[in-house]
Amino acid sequence: MKTMPLTLLLLAAVMAMRIRGESSSDDALKEEILRFMRPIECVQMIRGQTYRPRVLTERISFDGDTNRLARILAELAQTNNVHIAQRSMALLGEYGTPTQLPFLCSCATNPIVGDKAIKAALRIGGVTSNSVEAAQRYFALTNTDASVDRSRTSICADLIKLSGLEGVDDICRSNAMEVAQNFAFSADCNYYWLDKLRLEDDPSYRYSKRRLAFMRGAASHAAQWEFMANYVTNAINELVAYPEANLPD
C-alpha cells in the first residue's frame, strides 16, 4: 500500500521532466535554426573542390520530425525581424507540410514575406483554389517596390508552369491562367515573356484561338513599347493566316 503513492510520485516526476524536456527541446531547435540563418563570411574555395550549399536538416537536431520542424519555422516566420521572417518563410518552402497551407495563404498580402509564402504554398499544395486566390491577392498589392514586382512576375511564372501539371483541376487551371493573364495586362505588361511561358508549357497553345484572343487583348496595351507591339502584331498575323477559322480552341 505504501509503494503506490511513491510510484505515482515517480511517474508524475517523469512526466514533468518529459514536458520540460520537450519544451526546452523546441527552444534548443529554434536556436539551432537561428544560428543556421546567421550570415556567414564567404570563404575562398580551394581549387578542385565543388561548392556545396549548406542544408538545414544536416545542421540541426530535429530527430527526423519534419512536422515539428515545419511548425517551428512557421513560428519564426511570424517574428518582427525581417531577415528571420524571410529566411524562415523560404525554408518553409523546402520543409513545410500541408498543415501550414492555411497560414501560408493568409500571408499573401504581407509585402515582406508574401511572395515566399505563396511560393511555399504552391510547392506544397500545388495549384488549388486557395493558392490561386492567394496569388491573386498578392498581385493586387499596391504598396509595391521593385523587389515585389520581380516576385510577382516569378509567382506568375510558377502559376503557369504548375497549372500544367497532371492532377490539377480544370477549373483551377483555368482560373490560374486567367489570374496570370490579368496580372500581365494590368501590371507586368511583358506579353512576350508570358507568351513564351505558355508556349513552353503547352505546345497546343501556339496555334489556338486561346493565343489569338490573348494577343488581341494585349495589342492595345503593348502599343507603347515597339518591341512588344511588333511581337504581338506578328503573332496575330501568323495566327490569322492559319487561317483563323481553322484554329482549334
Q: What is the pLDDT of residues 44-58, one digit of tens each?
A: 455 555 555 778 888
What pLDDT does residue 148 have? 59
**Residue 191 or residue 195, greater confidence:** 195
- Minimum mean pLDDT range among 19-23, 108-112, 133-137: 19-23
Map grid coordinates 484554329 to a residue: 247
What pLDDT does residue 41 have? 44
Examine residue 215 and state whether it is found in any structural domain, yes or no.
yes
- Across residues 107-120, what is the average pLDDT? 93
Question: Are 156 and 96 found together in one domain?
Answer: yes
Examine residue 100 and state whether it is found in any structural domain, yes or no.
yes
Question: Are 178 and 215 found together in one domain?
Answer: no
What's the rounded Cα separation, in Å, for the pair 249 and 241? 16
Q: What CA–CA distances, in Å, run from 213 to 28, 33, 90, 206, 209?
A: 57, 49, 37, 12, 6
Question: Are 134 and 181 found together in one domain?
Answer: yes
| Whether residue 30 has pLDDT greater than 70 | yes
Residues above pLDDT 90, as percent of the chain: 47
What's the rounded Cα separation, in Å, for the pair 119 and 105? 10
Question: Are 245 and 157 found together in one domain?
Answer: no
**Residue 166 or residue 22, greater confidence:** 166
- Across residues 27-34, what is the average pLDDT? 92
Q: Report which secondary-structure segment, H or E, holds 18.
A: helix 3-37
| Whether residue 189 has pLDDT greater than 70 | no
pTM value is 0.74
Question: Are 233 and 160 found together in one domain?
Answer: no
End-to-end CA distance of the chain: 84
User: CA Rg, the chain, in Å?
Assistant: 25
The DSSP code for 184 is: I
Q: Which structural domain, as residue segments, surrounds residue 233?
A: 202-249
Question: Are 86 and 176 found together in one domain?
Answer: yes
Question: Are 214 and 237 found together in one domain?
Answer: yes
Of 165, 188, 211, the position where a domain reaches its end is 188
- Minimum mean pLDDT range among 6-20, 41-55, 120-134, 136-150: 6-20
**Residue 3 or residue 170, greater confidence:** 170
What pLDDT does residue 95 have? 94
What's the rounded Cα separation, in Å, for the pair 240 and 234? 10
The total number of structural domains in the chain stands at: 2
Question: Are 95 and 138 found together in one domain?
Answer: yes
Question: Are 144 and 224 found together in one domain?
Answer: no
Examine residue 50 and state whether it is found in any structural domain, yes or no.
no
**Residue 156 or residue 201, greater confidence:** 156
Examine residue 220 and state whether it is found in any structural domain, yes or no.
yes
pLDDT tens digits, 142-172: 765 555 567 888 888 899 889 888 899 999 9
Question: Are 215 and 141 found together in one domain?
Answer: no
What's the rounded Cα separation, in Å, for the pair 97 and 134? 17
Of 138, 162, 188, the position where a domain reaches its end is 188
Question: Are 230 and 138 found together in one domain?
Answer: no
Examine residue 164 and state whether it is found in any structural domain, yes or no.
yes
Spatial neighbors of 9 by CB under 8 A, at least 6 apart, are none
Question: Are 76 and 109 found together in one domain?
Answer: yes
How many CB atoms neighbour CB 108 within 10 A? 24
Spatial neighbors of 34 by CB under 8 A, at least 6 apart, are 76, 84
| Whether residue 214 has pLDDT greater than 60 | yes
